[in-house]
């Protein structure tokens, strides 16, 4: 892999995998999203490990997709629940199987974690992607913010990272991903489901969120020493330093303090396409401490 020309490919392990196959799935099917990337010039695989509240592997600290299911209203997400449950009950850990296959084929393997947490009301029928933690803590949701015009598109049910218990819930999962598996680090998705603070909390708690990312950095460094392998911290973020700061993410400070190793900068054009960010961040492409 060339450090100056690394190709990172994101696969969510869901839409092209557990959503489409009828159970039971075997190892060949579980590793298909990895096998299909051979000989395409890809260096690093960023692999989603779940969908916010719940996870698609044999987690010991988080909540597994469908673990609290009674009845469902969504056949596709139910299929995912059946597949992961069956695969684990057969003695496999989906994440370990995929990670091992990626390394066998010469890829760098980075689990990607969505940070959005949202309150849901407990119900007899749900969509399989439900967390007891989110059921049990309606007080953690931000709620409507009518005094902030920019909040009109925000999800009022989302949890605030100003709350220590919310941060710790994610840190426990991150610690597991970097220390219990032979992964090559972690990617934090800071663009989907943002902002992670209430608009009213941003002046006071932007530093709180920065400290959270600093905690992730320390978890990576500790795991790197324990496993004697590099553990990169990658962040996926909006391609505007000022825009990130406006929603409580001090990305410039994180880069300057060398908290993050790589930034995947995402820009949505007026036509809704994702495009290059060199014209948005021209100076950061010359920074030695972080790569975009």
Report residue 65 as tokens.
């997709």
32 belongs to a structural domain: yes
- Report pLDDT for 268: 67
292 belongs to a structural domain: no
3 belongs to a structural domain: no
Domain count, the chain: 1
241 belongs to a structural domain: yes
CATH of the domain at 23: 3.20.20
2 belongs to a structural domain: no
CA triplet 112, 252, 165: central angle to 5 degrees? 50
1 belongs to a structural domain: no
- Report pLDDT for 3: 58
- Report pLDDT for 126: 85
Full domain range(s) for residue 30: 8-286
Neighbours of 269 (CB within 10 A): 9
Q: Write a three-state SS string for the chain.
A: CCCCCCCEEEECCHHHHHCCCCCCCCHHHHCHHHHCCCCCCCCEEEEECEECCEECCCCCCCCECCCCCCEECCHHHHHHHHHHHHHHHCCCCHHHHHHHHHHHCCCEEEEEEECCCECCCCCCEECCCCCHHHHHCHHHECCCCCCCHHHHHCCCCEECCCCHHHHHHHHHHHHHHHHCCCCCEEEEECCCCCCCCCHHHHHHHHHHHHHHHHHHHHHHHHHHHHHCCCCEEEEEEECCHHHHHHCCCCHHHHHHCCCCCEEEEECECCCCCECCCCCCCCCHHHCCCCEC
| pTM exceeds 0.85 | yes
134 belongs to a structural domain: yes
- Report pLDDT for 276: 40
- Report pLDDT for 36: 96
Report residue 25 as tokens.
């799935």
Question: What does the pLDDT profile of the chain (292 residues) look like in tens digits?
Answer: 555 789 999 998 889 899 999 999 999 999 999 999 999 999 999 999 998 899 999 999 999 998 988 898 889 999 999 999 999 999 999 999 999 999 999 999 999 999 999 999 898 888 888 899 999 999 999 999 999 999 999 999 999 999 999 999 999 999 999 999 999 999 999 999 999 999 999 999 999 999 999 999 999 999 999 999 999 999 999 999 999 999 999 999 999 999 999 999 998 644 444 444 444 444 444 444 455 5
Q: Are strands 54-55 and 50-51 parallel, antiparallel or unpaired?
A: antiparallel
């Amino acid at each position: 892999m060339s450090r100056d020309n690394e190709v990172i490919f994101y696969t969510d392990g869901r839409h092209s995998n557990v959503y489409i196959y009828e159970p039971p799935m075997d190892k060949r099917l579980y590793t298909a999203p990895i096998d299909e990337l051979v000989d395409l010039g890809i260096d690093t695989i960023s692999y989603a490990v779940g969908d916010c509240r719940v996870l698609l592997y044999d987690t010991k600290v988080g909540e597994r997709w469908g673990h609290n299911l009674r009845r469902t209203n969504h056949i596709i997400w139910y299929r995912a629940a059946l597949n992961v449950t069956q695969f684990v009950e057969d003695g496999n850990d989906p994440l370990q199987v995929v990670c091992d296959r990626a390394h066998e084929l010469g890829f760098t393997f980075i689990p990607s974690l969505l940070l959005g947490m949202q309150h849901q009301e407990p119900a007899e029928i749900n969509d399989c992607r439900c967390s007891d933690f989110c059921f049990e803590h309606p007080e953690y949701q931000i709620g409507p913010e009518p005094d902030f015009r920019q909040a009109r598109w925000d999800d009022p049910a989302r949890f605030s990272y100003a709350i220590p218990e919310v941060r710790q819930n994610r840190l426990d999962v991150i610690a597991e991903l970097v220390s219990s598996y032979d992964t090559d680090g972690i990617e934090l998705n800071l663009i989907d489901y943002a902002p992670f603070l209430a608009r009213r909390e941003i002046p006071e708690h932007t530093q709180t969120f920065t400290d959270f990312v600093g905690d992730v950095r320390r978890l990576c460094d500790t795991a790197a020493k324990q496993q004697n392998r590099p553990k990169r911290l990658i962040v996926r973020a909006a391609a505007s330093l000022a825009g990130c700061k406006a929603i409580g993410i001090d990305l410039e400070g994180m880069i300057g303090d060398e908290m993050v190793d790589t930034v995947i900068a995402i820009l949505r054009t007026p036509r809704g396409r994702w495009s290059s960010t060199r014209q948005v961040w021209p100076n950061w492409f010359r920074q030695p401490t972080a790569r975009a």
